[in-house]
Structure 1
Amino acid sequence: MRKIAVILFLLLSFSSQAQELNFTVIINSERSNLQNTDIFNQMKTSFEQFLNGRSWTSNEFRPEERIKGNLLITINEATTVGSFSATVQVQTVRPVYGTNYETLLLNFADRNWNFEFIESQPIEFNRFTFLNNISSLLAFYANIAIGLDYDSFESRGGNSFFAVANDIVNNAQQSGRAGWGQSNSDRRNRFWLINDIYSSSVYSSIRDAYYLYHRQGLDLLQIDSEKAYQNMLEAIRLVAEANKAQPNGIFTIAFMDAKGDEISKIFKNAPMEIRTEVVELLLEVDPNNARKYNELLKS
């Protein structure tokens, strides 16, 4: 019995190391017309188990290395037969070397998700075929989250995960469900997000910006601030160049939604010449937040 217990412990230990995600699912069901709200508690548990309880990579992760994130689901409409309409906000963070600070990597609003949830039914997923709109969406954002995290540590390190996300989109398009297709009226969807990240040559430089900004920027800030600010400035240049080539791409918007507030704070301690160029670039990329960025020019 003791040997069996030891083997089980080792298996469980290995399994926990292989799990990459540490997501919290938050469900806002205030708009739903359902009397029985227990289903949303079950939904939360089921979604978290799907995201956090499986291995998404072949690498081992210690518990403290798991990628932290939030999945904020707002139920817009619900029926008694288990059909739901929702919006989803996906947020992920990454620790900054040598600090207790966590930097936002992804802050993306998915506005159109329809799905069916049956209590106590396992959520099945297959990379190579569309099974349901729950596992496809959750697996899609799991791979986006891991891909961006890997990109922030190694130049274009997230390639294999973006390939999986791209496969998920291609398979889901056959379902005819909203959010997976090449819609020109709603470009803030899953198709355009992975298209800009993985397929578009115009926005590929933003992936380089993720590496420069985080690994060669934020992670170096406590060690060599001059070099760190220069690298972060170069990252912002890359984003601005992509935006100039093709304005208002969803990957550009996603980068600014995640980094805009942070940039306006982090660069307050940078030399004035760097702040001046940063503001010029940001006003081109994100003019709606001009007032926030112009604060950087105050001494």
Structure 2
Amino acid sequence: MKNSPISRLRKTMRYAGMLACCLLLTTAAAFAQEIRANVTVVSNEITGVDKKIFTTLQTAMKEFLNNRRWSNDAYTASERIECNFMLNVKQQVGNNTYNATLTIQATRPVFNSSYVSSLLNTQDVNVAFKYVEFQPLEFSDNRVVANDPLVSNLTATLAYYVYIILGLDYDSFSPRGGDQFFKKAANIVTNAPDAKEIAGWKAFEGNRNRYWLQDNILNSKFSRFHDVMYQYHRQGLDVMYEDMNKGRAAVMNSLNMLYAIHQDIPNSMLLQVFFNAKSEELLKVFSKAPPQDKSRAAQMMAQMDITNANKYQQMK
């Protein structure tokens, strides 16, 4: 277990000015896991089932996400990546078997600021799983699928998104810093659970699923996206406290790189995921920009993120 440069940088950024408070902490806290996940399981649409099972599932998911080590880097409790997982159980399809949607959100601190930037804000609509109350949630990178694919599908999906979150976070602190985690997510896709009730892991099952997200991230055609993540955050948001114009210029350059990707590969899932997380933030970044910068940013964003095109056009 090592304390990586990225981990040390995260610590410096998140807790600058809090040394006096940190000195009050005992060494008993030592090193913690990488993420701090707030977990919610919603079951409003399910009837005829003892709802206690979903409370138990919520606790099990929280322990699975928060108590497991996902990397070899050392984190203190105060450095953990803040994220939210909301499992909305929509339908019971068999004995202890359900269909659900999963909403995943994660944030990153911004240097010299209490502001946190959204790294991921997405919803997975194809989460089929089996859960028997009090059964342990288990996962291994070397054996993604256990004895029952439907039991394994929940933990495989959770682990997949943890690796995506870690990859995006590390990319934002260091050039190509997230590669190791994106490859772990790809390994889960390659070895994913397979059953007739399970969807989301294969290319032919749609153009907006787990397969396509990891494919885009690791595809050489999207290699500039990793430069975007680093420049947008480290050279953009992180310098705005000291030099707003310099930081905004880096964000603008990030948009230019994204626009080049968009021109080569329009309507990609990866850019949609980026703008799902960043649209509101970009509106704020360019709200007080010079007119020519505001107009250029609005033009590019409206073409890349059609869902929010009207909002961007109002910036001009």
**TM-score, reference length from structure 1:** 0.90
Counterpart of 1:87 (choices 101, 105, 117) is 101
Q: Distance in 1 between matches of 2:94 and 2:200?
A: 24
Per the TM alignment, residue 209 of structure 1 is displaced from its structure 2 partner at its CA by: 0.9
- Does the alignment pair 1:65 with 2:79? yes
Superposed CA deviations along residues 36-65 of structure 1, whole A, max 9, x for unmatched, are: 101111111100111100111111112121
1:80 CA displacement: 6.6
Partner Cα separation in structure 1 for residue 200 and residue 48 of structure 2 = 25
Does 1:153 pair with 2:167? no
- Tell me if structure 2 keeps the 8 A contact 1:106–1:145: yes
| TM-score (structure 2 length as normaliser) | 0.86
> Partners of 1:294 and 1:27 in 2: how far apart?
37
Deviations 1:128-147 (A, max 9, x none): 22221121111101111111
Partner of 1:281: 300
% of aligned pairs identical? 33
Shifted more, 239-248 versus 163-172: the winner is 239-248
Q: Which runs of 5+ in 2 are unaligned?
A: 1-25, 147-151
Number of the residue aligned with 1:48: 62
Q: In the alignment, which residue of structure 2 is the partner of 1:215?
A: 234
* Structure-1 separation of matches of 2:64 and 2:195: 21
Shift of 1:287: 2.7
CA distance in structure 2 between the aligned counterparts of 1:270 and 1:232, rounded to whole angstroms: 11
Distance (whole Å) between structure 1 residues aligned to residue 76 and residue 63 of structure 2 = 18
Q: What are the equivalent positions in structure 2 for 1:90-101 lying under 5 Å apart?
A: 90-101=104-115
Structure 2 match to 1:3: none
SS at match of 2:192: helix
1:13 maps to: 29
Q: Secondary structure at the match of 1:76?
A: strand
- Once residues 48 and 164 of structure 2 are traced to their aligned partners in structure 1, the CA distance between those partners, rounded to angstroms, is 32
Q: What displacement does 1:175 show?
A: 4.9
**Amino acid in the other structure paired with 2:293:** I
What is the RMSD of the two structures over their aligned residues, measured on CA atoms?
Answer: 1.7
Q: Determine if the alignment matches structure 1 residue 38 to structure 2 residue 52.
A: yes
2:20 alignment counterpart: none
Structure 2 CA distance for partners of 1:13 and 1:175, relative to 1, 3 Å? farther
Q: Identify unmatched segments of 5+ residues in structure 1.
A: 1-8
Spell out, residue by residue over 1:198-231, the C-alpha distance to the aligned partner (whole angstroms, 9 max, x if none).
2x12222122111111111111111111211111
1:179 is aligned to 200
Q: Tell me, what secondary structure is at the counterpart of 1:90?
A: strand
Which 4+ runs in 1 deviate beyond 3 A? Answer: 173-176
Paired residue total = 284
SS of equivalent to 2:57: helix
Q: For residue 204 of structure 1, what is the aligned residue in structure 2?
A: 223
